[in-house]
């Protein structure tokens, strides 16, 4: 087994990281901050590309918009007003934010952002147009050859919208694999992303009610270290990029209050096929400075 893994790693290592293409799928405008450091490294420093699909319109973020009321001149914390204006405001904020990390294209699915919940079923069964999301994701995933797909890791304590997004992405991925519809020779490698602690991630096996979310427990938890230093006298690191990104999301004031994580964690889902484990290992070796 060790020889086989080593062989896969050698074969994958023969591929140049330049040109690697990543698709990120999130629930809300600002969730892409979970992978800000690695996406910047891939797109800005290693010549790859990244696209983003955002499922909801972000209108439920009105509770955190007190400071933004002065920026945008509207009483955004009043629910009806916030829900009316925040979808357009958050689109503009997102487009400004992703320029810092090198996102090439953003696709908005404009599903309703209702309220905070831990229940994915309430979203999937009562709020979102799941078949429309799946259709749009199928179109995007088959539009070009993506090497990696990133979505939220659906741990029990995460937002129900994050769980629902991951479930739909994984179901769509599995369907396209089954129907042999991915372009190119390689099926993309799909990972769940999290800024959670490594010890809590090790305990996660998947959502019991959704076996599609099972993770590959024999694979390691991969990490992008934002504290890697560079620049003059090694005074810079990737937490700066995360701060620049967060600063654009002014309607979500709590983002600037949260301590910037020093690491991004990524977990392989069991639904992956072929040499996914070797390809993931190769990628995270390449993004190290």
Bridge-based pairing state of the strands 236-237 and 105-111? unpaired
Model pLDDT, residue 257 = 78
Q: What percent of the chain has pLDDT over 70?
A: 93
Name which of 11-15, 159-163, 220-224, 233-237 the model is least confident about.
11-15
Q: What is the DSSP letter of 115?
A: -
Find the Cα–Cα–Cα–Cα dihedral 77, 81, 87, 93, rounded to 10°. -50
- How far apart CA 207 and CA 66 sit, in angstroms, is 35
Domains present along the chain, CATH in parentheses: 19-286 (3.40.50.10320)
Least confident range from 74-83, 164-173, 183-192, 251-260: namely 251-260
For the chain, helix, strand, coil in percent to 5 are: 45, 15, 35
Round the average pLDDT of the chain to a whole number and report it: 92
| pLDDT tens profile 2-52 | 444 444 444 444 445 557 999 999 999 999 999 999 999 999 999 999 999
pLDDT, position 196:
66
Sign of the dihedral defined by the CA atoms of residues 138, 143, 145, 150, in that order = negative
Give the per-residue pLDDT at 251. Answer: 97
What pLDDT was estimated at residue 201?
A: 85
What tokens were used for 181?
Answer: 């519809």
pLDDT digits over 103-130, tens only?
999 999 999 999 999 999 999 999 999 9
Q: Which of 14-23, 66-75, 91-100, 227-236 has the lowest mean pLDDT?
A: 14-23
| pLDDT at 43 (0 to 100) | 98
With a CB cutoff of 8 Å and minimum separation 6, the contacts of 186 are 145, 147, 274, 275, 279
pLDDT tens digit string along 141-158?
A: 999 999 999 999 999 999
Rounded Cα gap, residues 156 and 78, in angstroms = 30
CA 77 – CA 242 distance, rounded (Å): 26
Q: What pLDDT, on a 0 to 100 scale, did the predictor assign at position 18?
A: 58
Question: pLDDT tier at 255 (50, 70, 90 boundaries)?
Answer: confident
Q: How many CB atoms lie within 10 A of CB 82?
A: 24
Q: Is the pLDDT of residue 289 over 70?
A: yes
- Strand positions, DSSP E, 27-136: 49-56, 105-111
pLDDT given for residue 284 in this prediction: 97
Q: What is the DSSP-derived secondary structure letter of residue 53?
A: E
Query: What pLDDT does 16 receive?
Result: 55
State mean pLDDT over 201-219: 94
Listed residue (279, 123, 96, 263) closest to 193, CA to CA: 263
- Tell me if 274 sits within 8 A of 186, measured CB to CB: yes
The two tokens of residue 262 are 């020093």
**Radius of gyration in angstroms for the set of CA atoms belonging to the chain, rounded to a whole number:** 19
Degrees to nearest 5, angle at CA 20 with 249 and 233: 65
Q: Counting every residue, how long is the chain? A: 289
Measuring CA to CA, which residue among 128, 139, 140, 214 is closest to residue 165? 128
Which of 22-36, 195-209, 234-248 has the lowest average pLDDT? Answer: 195-209
């Amino acid at each position: 087994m060790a020889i086989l893994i080593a062989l896969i790693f050698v074969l994958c290592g023969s591929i140049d990281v330049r040109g690697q293409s990543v698709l990120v799928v999130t629930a809300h405008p600002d969730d892409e901050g979970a992978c800000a450091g690695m996406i910047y490294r891939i797109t800005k420093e290693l010549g790859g590309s990244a696209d983003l699909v955002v499922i909801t319109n972000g209108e439920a973020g009105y509770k955190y918009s007190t400071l933004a009321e002065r920026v945008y001149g509207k009483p955004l914390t009043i629910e009806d007003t916030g829900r009316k204006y925040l979808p357009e405001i958050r689109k503009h904020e997102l487009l400004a934010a992703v320029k810092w990390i090198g996102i090439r294209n953003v696709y908005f699915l404009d599903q309703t952002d209702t309220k905070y919940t831990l229940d994915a079923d309430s979203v999937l069964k009562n709020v979102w147009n799941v078949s429309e999301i799946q259709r749009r994701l199928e179109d995007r995933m088959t539009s070009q050859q993506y090497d990696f797909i990133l979505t939220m890791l659906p741990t029990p304590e995460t937002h129900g919208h994050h769980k629902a997004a991951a479930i739909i992405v994984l179901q769509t991925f599995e369907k396209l694999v089954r129907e042999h519809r991915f372009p190119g020779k390689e099926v993309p490698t799909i990972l769940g992303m999290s800024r959670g602690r490594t010890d809590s991630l090790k305990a996660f096996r998947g959502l019991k009610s959704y076996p599609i979310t099972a993770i590959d427990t024999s694979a390691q938890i991969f990490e992008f270290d934002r504290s890697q230093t560079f620049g003059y006298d090694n005074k810079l690191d990737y937490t700066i990029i995360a701060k620049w990104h967060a600063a654009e999301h002014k309607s979500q004031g709590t983002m600037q209050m949260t301590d910037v994580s020093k690491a991004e964690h990524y977990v392989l889902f069991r639904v992956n096929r072929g040499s996914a484990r070797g390809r993931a290992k190769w990628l995270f070796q390449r993004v190290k400075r």
